[in-house]
Structure 1
Amino acid sequence: MAKLSWAGALGIGLGLAAPALAQAGASDRGPFEIPVLIISYFPTNGDQIDIRVTGDWGASLADTRAKTKRLTGEVIQALEQGSRYRGYTNPDAPPSLRYRVVGEIEFLRPLPTFAKRGHRTPMTDYARIMAEVDIRDWVERRGVREVWLWGYHGGKVDLWESNMASPFGDVSNSDRDPNDLPVLAHTYTVYHYNYQRGTSEAVEDHLHQIEAVLNHIDGRDHTPPAQWTNLLFWGKFVGSDASHKIIRPGCGWAHYPPNAERDYDWANPRYVETDIEDWKPDGTGRKQRLNCQRWGCDSLKWFIYWMQNVPGRDNGLFYQGKRLRNWWVFIGDYDTTRKLGWKLVED
């Protein structure tokens, strides 16, 4: 049975959210509001989470509810802080993203799953979940643009960290199955969190979605891998190629800080010369000697620091004579950017 909490434990009221941008006179300046629907699956055995279902989490229902509430708040804080362009040096930098929880739905039973070809573990049935919560109403009438799904993994279910449904096609960190979510009039993205883990892992889901979107906008999906080094985002900003390793210490990506030597190398003490804090597309930014101490050798702090180096509001950057947009517009109002055909630089 579903427990519906429209204002929810966060005490945030409902309202019909207008699109972040109006197409006429559209601006990439921001901030962009992202209305969020929270869905939680807490399979219970008495007043405990049933570890036979989750595989690795058997805390009390009360503690699990409290943890997901805390993590939700911390994820919001991290994402908003991360959208403050170079906020680590400019305390007045405004966030480009604002998140608003508009509803919460809770199920005291296991995640629905199905046998998906190519997967050994049952796959989360996202289409069924969306049907049960009437996602059309939430997206088309209430303005929801992101669904945050609190669940579990534990080797019991397979999942996608992010999964998009859009009239413009699925751009997400998934297999981009066009049939696993209902496609509606507006784009929405489902993030599947694991309450056995922490804030860092949830935020990492968002970083991979940001990477997927910016790569798509920049044309990587249709660019031969041998030419990825020439791309504005992946080649020049990240500093990588088809190997996904850092070949030029630029700004890095979720798994690879500029000094990384392998995946998830967030605590590497090795120093490199990088222009991450003065990145310019033409490579003329000031370089500095840097190692993991700059972000406390901590994954979550790295994610926020990386986000704050993504070209944001008033970035003042140019590429081949054209102004770089505030790239957060592609996360904050994807539909309008697709309707207008916007790229990472102005036309």
Structure 2
Amino acid sequence: MVNSPRFDICGRANRGEIDEVWIYNGPYFGFYESTLVGPGAYWYNSPPVPGPHNCNRLIPLMGPSPERDLGCAIHNFGHRMEATMTRVYGSWEQNRTSHNWECFALVKALSPDYSYSGCGNIHYPPNAEHDYDYENTATVLSNCDDFAHYPDLGDPAETSRPVSCLDWGCTGLGYLAYWFAHLPSNWGCGPDGVANNWWKYFADPALALSPSSPCP
């Protein structure tokens, strides 16, 4: 498809006519939720599109399904952000806070050495006990709200507060809105040499190849 003259995806991207492609695809089309094509393409919740192709810039290809609801489509973009920030910071594990992405995505249920969560990840809200646990009314301590002050984060022991699904309306779509709304989006760059606005990397996946490039 990338090389199809009908769609001319690489040509349009190379000419600056498009920045990404969304393809609502039917059953058994074989599309990934999100993938990358172009030079330096990396894991994007799927392997990169293999060559040969003539794309000279990175282009996200999103593959939502018309058989699924809006929440599932946005879910795809959440995994895209997870993959992007993992590339920016070079790793991602639970039960560890070696960099700010791990701090943000920390989940207490997956991190026995921690007494609190960050903002969670796409499958696990801060108070989740298992995948897709978006309706859990149990509370857990979370410092997610502190990411509004990013990169000036306080001590989680002081900034964490109890959260439950009531904080996002106890729906999957509500949780995705909560999660995306808490992503750092401030001006400037932090001491780690990464932009304080993580949306820059989401919008331009090439920046994740050189995370300090948005910084003066």
Name the TM-score class by shorter chain. 0.7 to 0.9
1:245 corresponds to: 110
CA offsets per residue over residues 8-34 of structure 1, 9 Å max, x none? xxxxxxxxxxxxxxxxxxxxxxxxxxx
1:70 corresponds to: none
CA offsets per residue over residues 99-134 of structure 1, 9 Å max, x none? xxxxxxxxxxxxxxxxxxxxxxxxxxx446x44311
Residue 170 of structure 1 aligns to a residue whose secondary structure is: coil
2:75 corresponds to: 204
C-alpha distance in structure 2 between counterparts of 1:216 and 1:293, whole Å: 32
Label 1:271 to 1:319 Cα distance change in 2 as closer, same or farther (>3 A).
farther
C-alpha distance in structure 2 between counterparts of 1:149 and 1:308, whole Å: 25
CA offsets per residue over residues 213-266 of structure 1, 9 Å max, x none? 111010117xxx699541320x2111159xx93554111011111000111111
Unaligned runs of at least 5 residues, structure 1? 1-125
- Greater gyration radius: 1
Residue 151 of structure 1 aligns to a residue whose secondary structure is: coil
Q: CA deviation at 1:185?
A: 1.5
Residue 164 of structure 1 aligns to a residue whose secondary structure is: strand
C-alpha distance in structure 1 between counterparts of 2:53 and 2:124, whole Å: 34
2:182 corresponds to: 309
2:65 corresponds to: 194
**Does residue 270 in structure 1 map to residue 138 in structure 2?**
yes
1:289 corresponds to: 162
Where has structure 1 moved over 6 Å in runs of 4 or more?
Answer: none
Structure 2 length as normaliser, TM-score?
A: 0.81
C-alpha distance in structure 2 between counterparts of 1:201 and 1:246, whole Å: 26
Q: Please give the root-mean-square deviation of Cα atoms over the aligned residues, in Å.
A: 3.1
Contact 1:246-1:260 within 8 A present in 2 as well: no
Residue 305 of structure 1 aligns to a residue whose secondary structure is: helix
Equivalent position amino acid for 1:170 in 2 = Y
1:256 corresponds to: 124
Larger RCO: 1 or 2 (CA < 8 Å, sep 6+): 1
Residue 132 of structure 1 aligns to a residue whose secondary structure is: coil
Equivalent position amino acid for 2:141 in 1 = E
Contact 1:217-1:343 within 8 A present in 2 as well: no
CA offsets per residue over residues 306-332 of structure 1, 9 Å max, x none? 111111034x88557x67521111122
C-alpha distance in structure 2 between counterparts of 1:206 and 1:267, whole Å: 21
Q: How many residues align?
A: 208
C-alpha distance in structure 1 between counterparts of 2:11 and 2:32, whole Å: 23
